[in-house]
Amino acid sequence: MSETPDRYDRQKRLWGKKQELLRNATVLIAGVGATGSFAAVDLALAGVGNLILIDFDTVEVSNLNRQLLFLEKDIGRPKVYAAAEKLKKLNPDISIETFFGRIEDAPLEYYEKSNVILSGLDNYEGRIWLNNIAVNYRKVLVDGGMDGLFGYIQVIIPGKTACLLCYPLIPVNIPIPKPCSPAGRERMSYFQLKAKDIFGKLTPPQPQEPSPAVSTMATIIGGLMANETLRVLLNIGNIKSGILFIYAHSLDFVWIDLNRRPDCPVCGIIDKIQEFELPIEPEITIKELKKILCEKFSTKDIEVIYGTHILDDSKKLDDLINKEIGVISKDLRFPIYIKLIKKG
């Protein structure tokens, strides 16, 4: 990356030699649509040296009213490739990596080497997955979203601030919008399969039409997300634990303090609330282990996780011996962490 001492002259007047922190930083942007495209532009212009763009959508004509990085000629192209081209033109001195696909399928080293993960996603399922990844790798997550003239932003610092599942703020009985691109998938699976683990037995919502969106909100939310990312990278100011709601139709900004819950099923792992060893036969399956754990903890419904992945019932335990697994249940006040050891 070439030296461009004059490009950042005006911002160096704010933070001086800290510009080098930006140059050496890596930010992963998950979703380069509305909020993600504005945030990506701000971070590229600020001189964040390494950007990783992940998105599985293609550009469609309805994106053009609010997604800054795309033109009519980009319709049908993967968003990450079109976005990377524009960003390199805005600042040729930065490095950009792209992954055209689902965030779950991206190489894990992308997350490991990032200083900050920025979520520009338009679905709740993806946000929760990124939240788990951020906690697992101890990475700062900057999350934001918009719907019409409403938006929000939240910064998650694992172990310090509330994560997205400390206080799930999305009511699970409201309709979830369809994806904004033909390449998307209906947003049903998280609620159908996993919401009961957190909220109890619920009726999944039905998919609806795409939500309204305007560029002004994308500008506001994307800009705030980029600003918080810069504050984290430069260690400027105090990152508070909570969420900011923006109501643009009345120009109201509402801040809600959220204290981190040590019994949170996701970020509670940092506190190691409960942990012990469990002798087990390596030949048994996760399904058989669940029966043992349900009896041990007097619960009927649990999930077994390793890292950020929920383990399949058919999986055998042989390669999990001497490793730590997590047990989550709506009936357990705290998450349980177990080191499996070979019986006998």
Examine residue 267 and state whether it is found in any structural domain, yes or no.
Answer: no
The secondary structure element, H or E, covering residue 150 is strand 150-156
User: In this structure, are 315 and 238 located in the same domain?
Assistant: no
User: In this structure, are 305 and 159 located in the same domain?
Assistant: no
Tracing tokens 């009985």 back to the chain, one arrives at: 173
User: In this structure, are 44 and 174 located in the same domain?
Assistant: yes
Out of 225, 257, 289, pick the residue that ends a domain.
257
- Residue 268 has which token pair? 């509670």
Examine residue 251 and state whether it is found in any structural domain, yes or no.
Answer: yes
Q: What is the CATH number of the domain that holds 194?
A: 3.40.50.720
| pLDDT per residue of the chain (344 residues) written in tens, 0 to 9 | 555 568 999 999 999 999 999 999 999 999 999 999 999 999 999 999 999 999 999 999 998 999 899 999 999 999 999 999 999 999 999 999 999 999 989 999 999 999 999 999 988 778 888 998 898 889 999 999 998 899 999 999 998 999 988 876 544 333 434 445 444 333 333 333 333 343 344 444 444 567 788 999 999 999 999 999 999 999 998 999 999 999 998 999 999 999 998 777 678 766 554 456 788 888 899 999 988 887 766 566 788 888 767 888 898 888 888 888 888 776 554 557 788 888 87
Out of 227, 257, 287, pick the residue that ends a domain.
257
User: In this structure, are 170 and 233 located in the same domain?
Assistant: yes
Q: Show the domain range for 85.
A: 9-257
User: In this structure, are 86 and 118 located in the same domain?
Assistant: yes
96 closest CA partner among 1, 207, 181: 1
The CA-CA-CA angle for residues 97, 102, 104, to 5°, reads 100
- DSSP 3-state assignment of 277? strand
User: In this structure, are 159 and 302 located in the same domain?
Assistant: no
Examine residue 282 and state whether it is found in any structural domain, yes or no.
Answer: yes
For residue 177, the cross-strand partners are 208
**CB 243 within 8 Å of CB 256:** yes
User: In this structure, are 303 and 232 located in the same domain?
Assistant: no
Q: What is the DSSP letter of 264?
A: -
Model's pTM, two decimal places? 0.71
Examine residue 241 and state whether it is found in any structural domain, yes or no.
Answer: yes
User: In this structure, are 157 and 96 located in the same domain?
Assistant: yes
Q: What is the CATH number of the domain that holds 290?
A: 3.10.290.20
Domain count, the chain: 2
Out of 213, 229, 257, pick the residue that ends a domain.
257
Burial class for 312, CB neighbours closer than 10 Å (0-12, 13-18, 19+):
exposed
Q: What is the DSSP letter of 316?
A: B
| Number of neighbours of residue 243 by Cβ within 10 angstroms | 21
Examine residue 263 and state whether it is found in any structural domain, yes or no.
Answer: no
Q: Report how far residue 251's alpha carbon sits from residue 231's, in angstroms, rounded to the nearest whole number.
A: 24
Residue 246: which region, alpha, beta or left (left: phi > 0; alpha: psi -120 to 50)? beta
Examine residue 4 and state whether it is found in any structural domain, yes or no.
Answer: no
User: In this structure, are 304 and 249 located in the same domain?
Assistant: no
- How far CA 195 is from CA of 25, 170, 182, 189, 344, in Å, comes to 35, 11, 26, 9, 38
Residue 23: which region, alpha, beta or left (left: phi > 0; alpha: psi -120 to 50)? alpha
User: In this structure, are 40 and 114 located in the same domain?
Assistant: yes
Q: Report how far residue 30's alpha carbon sits from residue 32's, in angstroms, rounded to the nearest whole number.
A: 7
Q: Report how far residue 212's alpha carbon sits from residue 193's, in angstroms, rounded to the nearest whole number.
A: 27
User: In this structure, are 230 and 294 located in the same domain?
Assistant: no
Examine residue 1 and state whether it is found in any structural domain, yes or no.
Answer: no
Q: What is the DSSP letter of 166?
A: T
Examine residue 265 and state whether it is found in any structural domain, yes or no.
Answer: no
The catalytic residues are 180
- Residue 334 has which token pair? 């705290």
**CB 80 within 8 Å of CB 55:** yes
For residue 305, the cross-strand partners are 310, 326
